Amino acid sequence: MAPTRAFAQPASARYPWLLVGLLWMVSFLNSADRAIVNSVKPLLRDAFGVTDIQLGMVDSVFFWTYAVCAFLFGRAGDSVRRRNMIIFGLLFWSTATGMMPLASGFAMLMGMRTLVAVGESTYYPTATALISSWHQPQRRSRALAIHQTAVFAGGGIGGWVAGRLADAHGWATPFVVFAALGFVVLVILWFALRDDAPRAGIVVQAARAEPLRIILSNPAALLLCGVFFLATAASSAVLNWCNTYAHDVLHLNLADSALVGPVMITTAGFVSVLAGGWLGDRLAMAHRLGRFTVLALGLAIAALFLLPFPWVGSATMAGLLLFATSSGKGLFDGCIYAAMHDIMPDEARATAAGLMTMTGFLGAGIATFALPAIAAHTGLAAGFAMMAGLYTLAVIALLAGRRAVRQVIARG
């Protein structure tokens, strides 16, 4: 049983959207701090004398650590004050990010990166549950989609800024700069962030059952976890190696590589995640499976525009394809957490988001490590095209599982 959780004093009617704005800043830093390594990989390769496969191992350890800890902290997010979890996480990962320049060898680099993963894993499950507690189902996709835009903004703007700073001042500088920004946002949260939305009365009653048991008995929740595994594996592999592809294959500098890769990906995602949130809310009001329809549509588009990568001959073509495939993934991202929260009671939402995040980042770790190994034989472009197969499997799973989802939603 989760313990009873006390709420903060009632807030104004505008606070639910102010909350989205506050957490948008945190999510931006969460994504930007994660993106720094992608932007400086060529410099890390030279500074530490490592190979692409070793750098892929650093990414994979990050993802696997994040995956396990996201589930553990997500479960904790259903038992403790969610405000405190978010503030603690930001403090931890900003400190760990600022310590990255202390790494003096490959083992220490991996160790420091693992600490960042532990800190960052505290955030997303708890933050999405907190947003859902303040927003009704008819606007939940839009609220979560606006919050999700920070992931794309952080990855794109953060990746580009990190590349510019690294080009001018060396690979260590962006870690220090973004860590400092984290402490600035921490002060803002300390005074402005509140706990879950008040319901009838002052407290929420203890959970009726163990959250994990609720999730494991729900076939729709398990379906979403499997789909998130496949979709995150594909998108993370492309995102984490598109900088290196642009640098090594298209012969661009670090800042321009970020413009062709992460900036195109995240710009597309920023726009399409809002479209996905809006479309998900509209279709969900008209049809029980509306959000699940948007999920399948988005991943089908993402798969379609990865397939032509082996025939890319210019930076312009690469950027356009990355923009198009990421637009499809953005539609998916605009609905995925709202879809999970729709089929979960409030007392299990952080745990459900944590479990789904865990499966996704396990997939990300596997694919990010596997892609450079595959690329050693086929090239990165062909490896990108192979990721379309993971998206396709996810679409098939969503279509095959519609009956089970309909039954879960009908039970309420």
- HEC string for 373-391: HHHHHHCHHHHHHHHHHHH
Place 4 in a pLDDT band, splitting at 50, 70 and 90.
very low
Q: What are phi and psi of 140, to 5 degrees?
A: -65, -45
Mean pLDDT of 133-157: 86
Range of weakest confidence among 7-11, 165-169, 318-322: 7-11
Does residue 259 register a pLDDT over 80?
no
| Domain-embedded: residue 7 | no
Spatial contact of 130 and 20, defined as CB atoms under 8 Å apart: no
Q: Report the Cα–Cα distance between both ends of the chain, in Å, rounded.
A: 21
Q: CB neighbours (10 Å) of residue 298?
A: 30
Predicted local distance difference test score (pLDDT) of residue 12: 62
Q: Are 147 and 333 in contact (CB under 8 A)?
A: no
The conformation of residue 348, written as its DSSP 8-state character, comes to G
Residues forming a β-bridge with 148: none
Mean per-residue pLDDT of the chain: 86
DSSP element (H, E) containing 236: helix 219-248
Per-residue pLDDT at 410 exceeds 50: yes
Residues 334 and 272: beta-carbon distance below 8 Å: yes
Q: What is the pLDDT of residues 271-298, one digit of tens each?
A: 999 999 999 889 988 888 889 999 999 9
Determine, yes or no, domain membership for 98. yes
pLDDT of residue 395 exceeding 90? yes
Over residues 308-332, the mean pLDDT reads: 91
Half-sphere exposure of 403 (CA within 13 A, CB side): 1
Q: Output the pLDDT for position 163.
A: 86
- Residue-wise burial string across 115-143, b where 16 or more C-beta atoms lie within 10 A, e elsewhere: bbbbbbbbbbbbbbbbbbbbbeeeebbbb
Residue 4 lies in a domain: no
157-175 confidence digits (pLDDT tens): 888 899 889 988 999 999 9
Residue 239 lies in a domain: yes
Report residue 267 as tokens: 């710009």
| Within a domain: 200 | no
* pLDDT exceeds 70 at position 202: no
Give the separation between CA 362 and CA 78, rounded to whole angstroms.
Answer: 22
Domain limits for position 358: 13-194+211-411
pLDDT at 397 over 90: yes
Rounded Cα gap, residues 408 and 412, in angstroms: 7
| Residue 67 near residue 191 (C-beta atoms within 8 A) | no
**Is residue 2 assigned to a domain?**
no
CA distances in angstroms from 299 to 33, 45, 103, 185, 398, listed in the order given: 26, 33, 38, 34, 10
- Tell whether the model's pLDDT for residue 207 goes beyond 60: no
Is residue 78 pLDDT above 50, yes or no?
A: yes
Lowest-confidence region among 23-27, 98-102, 163-167, 199-203 = 199-203
Report yes or no on 132 lying in a domain.
Answer: yes
Q: Does the pLDDT of residue 186 top 90, yes or no?
A: yes
pLDDT at 208 (0 to 100)? 56
Count structural domains, the chain. 1
Let me know if residue 5 belongs to a domain: no
CA distance 388 to 410: 33
Q: How many CB atoms lie within 10 A of CB 46?
A: 10
Which residue did the predictor score with more confidence, 206 or 399?
A: 399
User: For the segment 10-69, what is each residue's pLDDT rounded down to a tens digit?
Assistant: 456 789 999 999 999 999 999 999 889 888 888 888 888 888 788 878 888 888 898 899
Question: In this structure, are strands 203-204 and 5-6 parallel, antiparallel, or unpaired?
Answer: antiparallel
Q: What is the pLDDT of residue 200?
A: 39
Q: Does 95 or 11 have the greater pLDDT score?
A: 95
Read off φ and ψ for residue 251, nearest 5 degrees.
60, 45
Q: What's the confidence (pLDDT) of residue 60? A: 81
- Name beta bridge partners: 6: 203
pLDDT value for 5: 47
Q: Is the dihedral of CA 305, 310, 316, 322 positive or negative?
A: positive
Choice among 7-21, 238-252, 355-369 with the minimum mean pLDDT: 7-21
120: nearest Cα among 63, 163, 171, 158: 63
Cβ count within 10 A of residue 314:
10
pLDDT for the residue numbered 197: 63
Q: For position 59, which CATH number holds?
A: 1.20.1250.20
Q: Report residue 329's pLDDT band, with 50, 70 and 90 as the boundaries.
A: very high
| pLDDT for res 198 | 62
User: SS3 of 6, please?
Assistant: strand
Least confident range from 74-83, 302-311, 318-327: namely: 74-83
Mean pLDDT of 257-261: 77
Q: SS3 of 3, please?
A: coil
Average pLDDT over residues 98-108: 90
Answer whether residue 89 shows pLDDT above 50. yes
- Residue 77 has a pLDDT of 80
Query: What predicted TM-score, i.e. pTM, was given to this entire model?
Result: 0.77
